[in-house]
Amino acid sequence: MSEKLRWSASVPYYFAYKGDVIIEVPHEAFRKHLVAYLAHQGMAFKTWSQLDREAREAWEKQYALETALKANLDYWITLNGQEGVECHGEQK
């Protein structure tokens, strides 16, 4: 007895057992219903590659902004004495 649909590597469909009932869902039908279900949940279907690319692009953008903040030393000087930020010496 399975509790969810599972992909079968030997035949092109998902399957599950519920009691004496065998459920077989072709890949195309599953994909169609998955896309509709995700849309109903406010999500667009994306492949792993698309999600991976978007995640990498977001991380690269975040890293670039982090690097810019680290390089903005005047900003950190304005925080002197706040939140544990300490600056020593005279500003030139």
The range of the structural domain enclosing residue 35 comes to 1-45
What pLDDT was estimated at residue 1?
Answer: 54
User: Is 60 found in the same domain as 41?
Assistant: no
How does DSSP classify residue 37? H
Residues 34, 2: one domain? yes
Q: 37 and 53, same structural domain?
A: no
Cβ-contact 14, 25 below 8 angstroms: yes
pTM beyond 0.85, yes or no = no
Does position 2 have pLDDT exceeding 70, yes or no?
no
Tell me, yes or no, whether 39 and 70 share the same domain: no
* pLDDT value for 10: 87
Are 50 and 92 part of one and the same domain? yes
Residues 23 and 57 grouped into a single domain = no
Is 23 a residue whose pLDDT tops 70?
yes
- Do residue 34 and residue 52 come from a single domain? no
Query: In whole angstroms, how far apart are CA 61 and each of 49, 50, 52, 53?
Result: 18, 17, 14, 12
- Count of domains observed in the chain: 2
pLDDT (0 to 100) of residue 91? 72
Q: Judge whether residue 88 has pLDDT over 70.
A: yes
